[in-house]
Structure 1
Amino acid sequence: MVTSKFLSPKNDVAFRKIFGSEKHKDILIHFINDVLNLKGSDKVEKVTFLSTIQDPDIAYKKESIVDVLCTDQYGKQIIVEMQVSPQKGFEKRAQYYASKAYSRQLNSGQELGARYQDLKAVIFIAITDYVIFPDKKDYLSNHVILDAKTYERDLKDFSFTFIELPKFNISCIEGLSSIIEKWCYFFKHAPSTSEEDLKKLIGSDLVIQRAYEALNRFNWSEKELFTYEQEIKRIMDNQAVEDYMKQKARQEGREEGIRIGEEKGIRIGEEKGIRIGEENGKLERNVEIAKTMLKEGDSVDKIIRVTGLSRADIQKIK
C-alpha cells in the first residue's frame, strides 16, 4: 500500500495547521482574498488571530469552537470553518458563530449605546464536504443581507460564503481556470496529487505550493502526525456510532412495522370473520324464509323480492 505524501486538508488538525497558525498566515490571507475576490483597498493585508472559543462556558462542545477566527487590518472579523461530517442546520450554526463574534466585540463594562457604532463586520467562510443547498447548482455561493424591495445592501456587517466540495466536479488539473478552482482542487484532491500534477497545478501561484508543503507529511513531527491520525480515528468512531444508531433505528422500525402489520392482520381477520359469519347467518335466515314461502305457495318472484336470493338458489331449495 502506497502512503500519500500529502495529508488531507479536510482533517481539522491539518486545516488549522495550514490556515490557523502564525507560520502560515500568508496562506490564510491569500485564501481569504481569493475566495472573496477582494481587490484594491478591500484586500486583506494582515490578520491577527483571536480565540476560537465562541462561548467559554460550553467550550468542551465542538459547537462552541470555530476552526479559525481572525481580524484584518480594518478590524473586520473573519471566520473560516471546515466541515466534513454532515450536520443538519449548519447554515444556522454559521449565523450563530457570526452573531457571537459580532456581539463579543462589546465588553460588558462598556457603554453599549456609545459602542454600537464601532462594531466591525463579520465574514464567515465555510468549506463543506457535503451539500448544504441542494437546490443550488454552483459550488460557491455568497450570502448577504439585502433590502427585499430594492435589493440594496444597507446592512453590511454580515456576509457568508460557502464552498460545497461535492459540487466541484473538475478532477483534471488542465481543466482548472481560476485560483478558486485551484483551492477547491486542493481541498478535494490533495492526498492523491502527484509531484508531476503539483508542478502543473502550481504554475505562478506559489502560495498553493506553500499550502501543499504544509501538507507534506515529511514536514510533520511524530506528535503532529499522531494528533492527525487521532482526529481520523475520532471521525471514524463517530461515524461508526452514527451508522450503528441508524441501523438500530431501521431494525426497530422493521420490528415495529412487523408488529403493527401482525396486529392489523389479526384485526382484519377478525373483522372479516365477523362479516362472513354475519353474511352466512343472513343467508341461512333467507333460506328458511324461502322454504316457508314455498310451502305456502308463494311465487318465485315474490320470494326473490323478499329474500334477495337468486332464482337458481330457490330452485335448489325446491
Structure 2
Amino acid sequence: MKEFISLKIDYAFKLIFGKEGNEAILIAFLNAALKLPQERRIEEITIINPELNKEYPEDKKSILDVRAITSQGMQINIEIQLSNQYDMEKRSLYYWAQMYSRQIREGMAYKELTKTVSINIVDFNYLKQTSSYHNVFHLYEDEEKFQLTDVLEIHFMELPKLLAKWRKREISLWENELVRWLLLLEGADNQEILQILEEIAMKDPVLYQAMNAWEETSEDPRIREAYFDRRKAILDEKAAIREAELRLQEALEEGMAKGIAEGRAKGIAEGKAEGKAEGRAEGRAEGRAEGRAEVAKKLLVLGFEITKIAEATGLSEEEISGLKD
C-alpha cells in the first residue's frame, strides 16, 4: 500500500501547490475556490517568494505558505493551519493588508491596486455561526448590504465540516471540484477518499498530475526526512496549545467555584444581617465577580494574553490590566 505524506502539513502542501512547475495544479484549485465566471477564470499564474520582507526593522516578518499572482495582477495567499491559534481572522486580515499595501509604488495611483485574496484552509471547526465548510468575506454596507469594493476577499475552508458532509454523502468528489481538491488533503489518512481520487484522476489530467507529484514527493527520502521534522514541530505546537486550553479550563473552573462559594457565604451573611433576599443576591453577585477576578489573576500568572483572558472571564481588558498593579 502506498504511504503518502499528509498534505495538511504546510511543508508538504507547498511542495504540491506552491512549487514552480505545478502551476496548473494551483490554477485548478483556485478556479474551483474562487468560482470566477468563465471569462475571468485564471489561465496563468506566477508562484512568487512567500516571504513578505520587512520594510522597517521593527516590522513583523511574515512568511506565507503559498503566494502567487495571476496574469491579471490578482494577489493570492493560501495558508493551511492544523491547530487553532486563535485570532485567525486578525492574522488573515494582517496578511491580506501586507500583500495589498505592498503593491504601491512611487507615482502609482490607488486605482491600480489589484484584488487581493487570502485563503485559509483549517483542520478545525472555526466559524461557530455556520455549518458551511467554505465561507467567503468581503466589505459590505451594514444596512443595504451593497459591496464597497471587491479588492478584499478572505476565504475560510474548514476541513472537519467538509469531511462530516462527505461522510453523510451530502457532497460528492465526482461532482464538486473544490471538494475534490480539499479532500485530497485527507487522502493520506483515508483510503476510501484516496481510491475515489485515483479513479477521478484517470479522467482529470490536472488531478492526475497532482497525484503523481504527490506520490513522487512521498517516496523521496530527503523530503520524507524534512517532512517528519516539520510534522513533529507542528504536532508539538498543537500539543502545547491543547495543554494551554486545559490549563485555562482548570483555572476557570477553580476560580469560578471559589468565587461562587465565597459569594454564597457572603450572601447568606449579608442576608441574615439585613433580613432581605436582596442581600443574599448581592453577595452572590459580588462573589462571582471576585471569582472572575481570581481567574484573571491566575491566567495572568500563567502568561495568557489579556485579550484571551477577557474572552474567558467576561472582564474588560482595562479591568484585567488593573489586576496587574
Does TM-score exceed 0.5, indicating one fold? yes
The residue that corresponds to 1:20 in the other structure is 18
Please state whether the residue corresponding to 2:51 is helix, strand or coil: coil
Which protein shows a greater Rg? 1
Q: Which amino acid aligns with 1:230?
A: D
The residue that corresponds to 2:125 in the other structure is 131
The residue that corresponds to 2:225 in the other structure is 226
CA separation of 1:58 and 1:23: change in aligned 2, threshold 3 A: farther
Q: Which amino acid aligns with 2:210?
A: A
The residue that corresponds to 2:155 in the other structure is 161
The residue that corresponds to 2:196 in the other structure is 197
TM-score, normalised with respect to structure 2:
0.69
Q: Which amino acid aligns with 1:117?
A: K
Task: State how far apart, in whole Å, the 2-side matches of 1:217 and 1:186 are.
Answer: 15
Please state whether the residue corresponding to 1:23 is helix, strand or coil: coil
Q: Which amino acid aligns with 2:206?
A: V
Q: Using the TM superposition, give the Cα deviation of residue 229 of structure 1 relative to its aligned residue in structure 2, in angstroms.
A: 0.5
Please state whether the residue corresponding to 2:78 is helix, strand or coil: strand
| Mapping 1:107-146, distance limit 5 Å | 107=105, 110-111=106-107, 114-146=108-140
Instruction: Please list the CA deviations of residues 135-166 of structure 1 after superposition, one character each: whole Å capped at 9, or x if unmatched.
Output: 11221122222344554434121112221111
Task: State how far apart, in whole Å, the 1-side matches of 2:89 and 2:222 are.
Answer: 34
Please state whether the residue corresponding to 2:209 is helix, strand or coil: helix
Q: Which amino acid aligns with 1:81?
A: E
Assess if the C-alpha contact under 8 Å between 1:53 and 1:66 holds in 2: yes
Instruction: Please list the CA deviations of residues 64-113 of structure 1 after superposition, one character each: whole Å capped at 9, or x if unmatched.
Output: 22111111001110111112111212122211111110100124xx13xx
Assess if the C-alpha contact under 8 Å between 1:59 and 1:65 holds in 2: no
The residue that corresponds to 1:307 in the other structure is none
CA separation of 1:8 and 1:89: change in aligned 2, threshold 3 A: same
Assess if the C-alpha contact under 8 Å between 1:143 and 1:159 holds in 2: yes
CA separation of 1:222 and 1:251: change in aligned 2, threshold 3 A: same
Identity %: 25
Task: State how far apart, in whole Å, the 2-side matches of 1:258 and 1:155 are.
Answer: 49
| Mapping 1:190-269, distance limit 5 Å | 190-193=188-191, 196-216=195-215, 219-251=218-250
Q: How many aligned residue pairs are there?
A: 265
Q: Using the TM superposition, give the Cα deviation of residue 185 of structure 1 relative to its aligned residue in structure 2, in angstroms.
A: 2.0
Assess if the C-alpha contact under 8 Å between 1:9 and 1:190 holds in 2: yes
Q: Which amino acid aligns with 2:200?
A: L
Q: Using the TM superposition, give the Cα deviation of residue 50 of structure 1 relative to its aligned residue in structure 2, in angstroms.
A: 2.6
Instruction: Please list the CA deviations of residues 229-271 of structure 1 after superposition, one character each: whole Å capped at 9, or x if unmatched.
Output: 01111122112323333444455556656776887899899x6
| Mapping 1:1-318, distance limit 5 Å | 5-56=3-54, 57=57, 64-107=62-105, 110-111=106-107, 114-168=108-162, 169-171=165-167, 175-176=172-173, 177-193=175-191, 196-216=195-215, 219-251=218-250
Task: State how far apart, in whole Å, the 1-side matches of 2:47 and 2:152 are.
Answer: 19
Of 164-173 and 138-147, more deviation after overlay is shown by: 164-173
Task: State how far apart, in whole Å, the 2-side matches of 1:173 and 1:51 are.
Answer: 38
Please state whether the residue corresponding to 1:34 is helix, strand or coil: helix
Task: State how far apart, in whole Å, the 1-side matches of 2:59 and 2:4 are.
Answer: 31
Task: State how far apart, in whole Å, the 1-side matches of 2:81 and 2:41 are.
Answer: 25
Q: Which amino acid aligns with 2:225?
A: F
Q: Which amino acid aligns with 1:119?
A: L
CA separation of 1:149 and 1:248: change in aligned 2, threshold 3 A: closer
Q: Which amino acid aligns with 2:230?
A: E
Instruction: Please list the CA deviations of residues 182-210 of structure 1 after superposition, one character each: whole Å capped at 9, or x if unmatched.
Output: 12321233432367434333252222222
Query: What stretches of structure 1 of length at least 5 have no aligned partner?
Result: 276-318
Assess if the C-alpha contact under 8 Å between 1:33 and 1:43 holds in 2: yes
